Chain A
């Protein structure tokens, strides 16, 4: 069912709509934008000067820059140099494409993050002779800190080379440009290191390593899916573990986009997820609950129904895909290797992937799989997207590729209302980034491999560990930079093991943490550099995922730096000076100069983009996508696959990947791990099937993204802990079997660790599954019990086979009353 844009209602009638409309107009530059994109109500300087009722001296635009996928402007009221209140975006309206970007609960609590008791105040050094992580510090001057870091860098480069210095994953200021903490190449730390020969890089990230590792083989590179507003053009929407209403909570981003799209167009929506997520609660017409890590088996069961009843889009598969059936296979591959053969039991395993087969693995009844297979098979087009839960598994690459394959079976790739089965795409502004520079070192490890690179260094190889750029690492990691991130301990796998590794300072000799909070990772620093918060510096902010809305934010300096905190730009400048590369690092520019340079460079590709001064006054600048049909991924490929081939070897969608087929025979994998050319379901270590035979640890543990935090950011804010306390979700049946009632304090444990937290006994989670909201701050008590309730006290270091990514949703444990 599709509805033309012209038939859309005007949205909610709001009291202040007249006022916003009256404010439309603004500067000459804005009028230029209006010519191209239509007038954006209330987007302009007139709105920035909103009267304050708190007696504040001024209102300054800032933003929330954490890594949720959304990005929200915030207006901060300042009185006597202190932020006294935080107000939401008041520009725009409630229409898709011009909406107010209303911050979620996290951004609204940012005042208690900026003025948090955990704020770092002055440079600290681990007290000499104390164990790393013991929390014994001595205050040092900035000069001492800079000198020590610079001299260590000099020594390590001389003794071990630049590859001994690693920039760890960190996304605490993901939204910034000059202050950006990921990807490594775009960070100010990388800019410094590149001036002195570079650093050991990483590929992938903790959010999407497996899907990113898989998509290259399947589609030839990251292509995204259709934007979520495009679901209006679909006959059916299917969300696999895609939980926008919790992960991307912005009222200008995907929460708003999905809710409004559902409200206006009411396209039937199916949510597949082990949890009855808030997205299922708010958007789903049907919730399909399955065991974690079994999406590929569910897809195989659905495919069996479609193939048996000839519901697949055979013309699409013949034209655009390789590997669906035996007539469309790459050369040199044995017969019986196609997806169709796999589904029908004509492949090497001889097992038909019937709905009954899938039911035993997934927990979804065969009758449901038959019904869904028919429904998905008959709907055209189908809007299929996946979140990043299905792929964060030991078989994550295959999970991701199976969902891509379902999109191909429906022939919905590259058309409005369809999708690729990838994560949703969105319209966005092509902002330039002249601040980023090239890393002279080309060697890289998987994002999840840094602990191995400390522990085993030169044992890490391309074939066994996914080292890129070299057959084998030459040296172990001797120094780690951790800027605005908590993956040094809290967000990595198996915290207890990670902590033990870090405690041994003969391996990694220097850990420098730059942050503004005493995070769990900061506890394991040798030198701690107190960063300012985003409210204490100027930056230009890259937008978040927001359907058909593009925008940028100039987040101004709202208050002077607290305590003895300094900007990361100043820190890197000072260290660059000591390394003799200050001129190369700064190019003679201040931080404000760099922000201006970003705007100037961006104006070359976005002619309507206002000047820096205008943006600074406006705070946020919004652009509606030029077309109203939604962001359609692979439209060019669909229109003319010969003229616009994919970057795969065949130029087509590779359901069978010959590259993976070759990897499966050459890569060295641990016993039990497998790479397959097809997106087959794989039973894995600590997987859904093992859970049923493992008497000691029979429960699957996943770590859903939680409203309290973005990963671990905001996890120490009192208002957030009050609003969304850390609890473990457990099905009533599993709870009853263990005598657990709602709100009982329980311990979840396996051989790697033990956490303690209250139980949320709820029918909103599948039987046999526990979900521990990920990102809680690891807080071991005297007996080693993590009373902070961090799920990574239970997870492992075992990487996934292709991407070598973090399989943190593949974990077995047991639970008992504390």
Chain B
């Protein structure tokens, strides 16, 4: 079996600029409303006031997220037409010839990775830029990141280098689908389920 691929995301370097997201849209010519890589802002904290003065106790960090090409891809499991399938390298792709646009995969995926493209009537999603990888290039999002916060490669190598953390707010419990994703956490990163903050930009996701 080929090496299983995944993403590494360094949360300490992300400034939420979304160059990754827009580079993906540019590469794949995606319309507004279809965004394969998205960036969540997770923010929380309080202010202490004392008369005219105040002290913040605030945290905030970003999480850039595309398809995580999960070990247990629930999108593949629920697809009634077998359009959603896994390649030898673990990359989950959608066969648009078979997809009928029923959107079960979108509903099932805890990361909202498969996205319905109203222009084609089919689901669409990240394939980690298979064409670029075939030519020895980085995926568009990785090559775009001004902060060098994104990387990709064999997930075993990424985990050996960066650990295997993927349970960071606001992401779902990784035991659901076992994402091939490694996160280097921001100093204020909250564990999944901690509930100390909130996604403050839901309209952008």
Which residues does A use to contact B, with CB under 8 Å?
12, 14-16, 19, 51, 53, 84-88, 90, 94, 102-105, 108-109, 111, 245-246, 249-252, 255-256, 259, 263, 276, 278-279, 281-282, 287, 289, 359-360, 363-366, 368, 692, 707, 718-720, 722-725, 731-733, 742-743, 758, 760-764, 766-767
Contacts and interface: CB of A to CB of B under 8 A. Distances in A.
B68 interface: no
Interface string B37-77: 00000011111011011111010111000000000000000
Contact of A763 (B18, B27, B52, B58): B58
B153 A109 contact: no
20 contacts: A15-B138, A15-B153, A85-B27, A104-B17, A108-B26, A108-B144, A249-B15, A251-B146, A278-B15, A278-B16, A282-B14, A360-B53, A365-B50, A366-B53, A719-B26, A720-B22, A725-B203, A763-B47, A766-B54, A767-B47
Given A108-B22, A289-B55, 7 more contacts: A16-B138, A85-B27, A88-B143, A108-B144, A282-B13, A743-B202, A767-B47
Contact of A102 (B25, B144, B153): B144
Interface string B136-147: 111000011111
Nearest to B49: A767
A16 B137 contact: yes
Contacts of A723: 18, 21-22, 204
A692 B47 CA distance: 18
Contacts of B16: 278, 707
Which 6 pairs from chain A and chain B are nearest by CB? A251-B146, A245-B15, A278-B15, A105-B19, A365-B53, A723-B18
B121 to A, nearest CB: 21
Contacts of B56: 276, 287, 289, 763, 766
Interface of B: 12-19, 21-23, 25-27, 29, 32-33, 35, 43-47, 49-50, 52-56, 58, 60-62, 131-132, 135-138, 143-148, 151, 153, 198, 200-204
B182 to A, nearest CB: 14
Contact of B60 (A281, A692, A707): A281
B55 A365 contact: yes
Nearest to A102: B146
A254 B155 CA distance: 31
Contacts of A363: 52-54
A86 B53 CA distance: 48
Contacts of A365: 50, 53-55
Contact of B17 (A53, A707, A719): A707
Contacts of A360: 52-53
A731 B47 contact: yes
Nearest to A260: B148
Nearest to B21: A723
A733 B153 contact: no
Contacts of A53: 131-132, 135, 137
Given A90-B143, A108-B23, A767-B49, A722 B32 contact: yes
Contacts of A725: 203-204
A102 B46 CA distance: 36
A90 B17 CA distance: 20
A111 B53 contact: no
A743 B25 CA distance: 25
B148 A251 contact: yes
Contact of B146 (A84, A250, A366): A250
B131 to A, nearest CB: 5
A246 B17 CA distance: 8
B22 to A, nearest CB: 5
Contact of B19 (A104, A743, A758): A104
A99 to B, nearest CB: 9
B135 A51 contact: yes
Given A53-B135, A733-B49, A742-B200, A764 B60 contact: yes
B13 A85 contact: no
B200 A762 contact: yes
A88 B47 contact: no
Contacts of A94: 148
A86 B27 CA distance: 8
Given A719-B22, A767-B47, A287 B58 contact: yes
B145 A102 contact: yes
A105 B55 contact: no
